[in-house]
Chain A
Amino acid sequence: MFSEQAAQRAHTLLSPPSASNATFARVPVSTYTNSSQPFRLGERSFSRQYAHIYATRLVQMRPFLVSRAKQYWGAGIQIKKLCELQPGEKCCVVGTLFKAMPLQPSILREISEEHNLLPQPPRSKYIHPDDELILEDELQRIKLEGTIDVSKLVTGTVLAVLGSVRDTGKFLVEDHCFAELAPQEPPPALDTDRFVLLVSGLGLGGGGGESLLGTQLLVDVVTGQLGDEGEQCSAAHVSRVILAGNLLSHNTQSRDSINKAKYLTKKTQAASVEAVKMLDEILLQLSASVPVDVMPGEFDPTNYTLPQQPLHPCMFPLATAYSTLQLVTNPYQATIDGVRFLGTSGQNVSDIFRYSSMEDHLEILEWTLRVRHISPTAPDTLGCYPFYKTDPFIFPECPHVYFCGNTPSFGSKIFRGPEDQRVLLVAVPDFSSTQTACLVNLRSLACQPISFSGFGAEEEDLGSLGLGS
């Protein structure tokens, strides 16, 4: 791993100056392809209804589910549409899930005068024991009951259920299955260690100064200023840095200025201006030394709906001088040195977290992989562009590294699929609170967290380093 490799060289820095100092060359980019073209939006028209996404999603996913159903429940299973169902007959139905949640925020309910409801305060989870699952296909919908975990599933998932319809009109589920993993190309065999650094949630402009030193230490490690020769040599093997969203802090959004009168806020500068200047300087330091991919996140100045478009280069006048800086979409898909990366800034996972009983972000990430859809809750509870031709969030193929940013803590796991696919799942933690980033080794497909700390006034220096116990 990074540390072991770094420790292999002798320590030279606790000694008088030597005549010459080693300089290492950054590993050159051998192959890089940006495959995020499906997430780029050209001309946008919002005059369409969102029903088209669901229609195309079902059409695209149906063949995968049919083949999985046949694989699990036998080739002779009857696949029927909802309109063809006969009572008491065991069959398999493919459809989109809808979860009816009483606690789900509904704007219609809020503004309805007959209820006289006050707006609901935001909660961390909107699940309720009374939630119900409804399966919809092209023409009809039917309520589901039986052996199916209502609290775990979310709206928008396409799945196949095995069971029979009761006389009450509800479908009694015996078993269900997802599309599981898409086919995967085998990962390339690399001869040297190459690393990709994943960071998310820099949170600039947040007002807290503690994370700034951590950010500076991170930049210094990657650009080869910090550390002994061994560490600098290892850092030279970092071939790419991916900033996965939330580069600006939540505080820069200045939401209260929307409610204030214009004459009060006219001459005030947006809080994001200073933060973007800081970000530009950091990006300049990074891109002068390593190729950088910048993904926008929930609090960054770009569009709100998924897929988020790249940040505009005019915001980074200093850093865009370097061609190593690349501004990319969220979600982001690329092939780096032959290894397929796919990741988001975390909005999809956190939205599923709100509407499902799953607690661990890494678990949710794995679940989206199994469902073969990056964000099934879009467009229901997560903003999404009204696609109608294709749903770009369906996995066409299985990536080698699948990450999501801005999770509360670091998590990493190797997941194996039914056809011997091997995926490294990485939950990249929020840097402004955890001071931790992720180093992915492309040769071994392993991930190591790297964390930074300064020292504070209190005696908990060791505790802050995590070395207390």
Chain B
Amino acid sequence: MPDVQTLVNEFLFKLKKRKIEGSHATARQTTILLRSVISQQRIPYTHQAAALIDAVKAVGEQLVAANPVELAVGNIVRRVLHIIREEDLSPTTVAIAGLNVSAVSDDEGDTDHDDHPVLSAAAVAAASRNTLRPPSLQTLLEDLPDSAAVPHTSSSGGDSEGKSKSADKSSRSRRLKHDVIEAVNELIEDIDTCHEQIAEQAVEHIHQNEVILTLGSSRTVLEFLCAAKEKKRSFRVFVAEGAPRYQGHLLAKELVARGLQTTLIADSAVFAMISRVNMVIVGAHAVMANGGVIAPVGLNMVALAAQRHAVPFVVLAGSHKLCPLYPHNPEVLLNELRSPSELLDFGEFSDCMDFGSGTGSPLLHVVNPTFDYVPPKLVSLFITDTGGHNPSYVYRLIADYYSTDDLVLQRKPAPVN
């Protein structure tokens, strides 16, 4: 137990000190942390899922508070909660199916043994899809009887029966935990492979002799472009340098190393160059529920330029970047103001930061925001690991990945105003 706590504290500290950069790394590490939280969590006989959900929520709340700007943390916490809920619903069906399988396999030979699991697995999948995939109202309705059923079974039964029940229970609880961990492992794998998943679709989008524009650097974009290159597509890339961090320089270097025809331009030259561009492909920090994008600073300008010249504006985002929140809330739409030293050399400008003379208040104020908000109407297409989607479809995608119960992570009710 203390081990998890130290792990959590360490991770919190890293998040706080902004030591983990990028939503991909953050998402991955959050998932790994939550996995260990789940595996260390003691589960009571009753309300197993509820106990797990509480534990994950408690940790998740701290994580989100540690760096509210990094939305991927919240996304992953919600994803894991959703996984727990999903696994909590499926055991009943799985258990029935499992009993059937064991009963049948005891009696019959190998030939049938091959068939049944397939059948039952398909049935389980169908059942779980039935219970979970439909919109929230139905899941809510099905949730209630399930949780009511658990205490009912535990209360009934005598001594010997109770023992066997509890043994069964413990195995069931182990299975729940096991299943959840399995599913979380899958999630980690998903996050790891999201670049490749997205890159696989590259050829469908990039055509021969096209000109692609991108801004700043994104690993997803790099892999996407390289995948198209590997499939023998020949095209050119314009890279806007992405001031003030100039990560575009790094991207250009990488692209050239992979043998792509690359042109580096200043951010301010985007509008001049956009008329020669066939498609804009960029990465994102987060995709909001309304299809809006929180992206590195400068992208709104690029999106507007693209709209003006009717150039498709394509956003690549792994599914961990899908955020089930809407950007109306100022609590959500946070920006990170980074150090002005990325813009100015402190030594050279130290006389402008001179508070001793004059009125004591500085006349020079440097603002260095990290993110832009690109409204959904400027985005032509999202490419996620599950395929291409319209901005207006994002809310449906989100319903697949998240449970509506988890949208608000704070356990405390909001203060009454």
> Do the two shown chains form a genuine complex with each other?
no
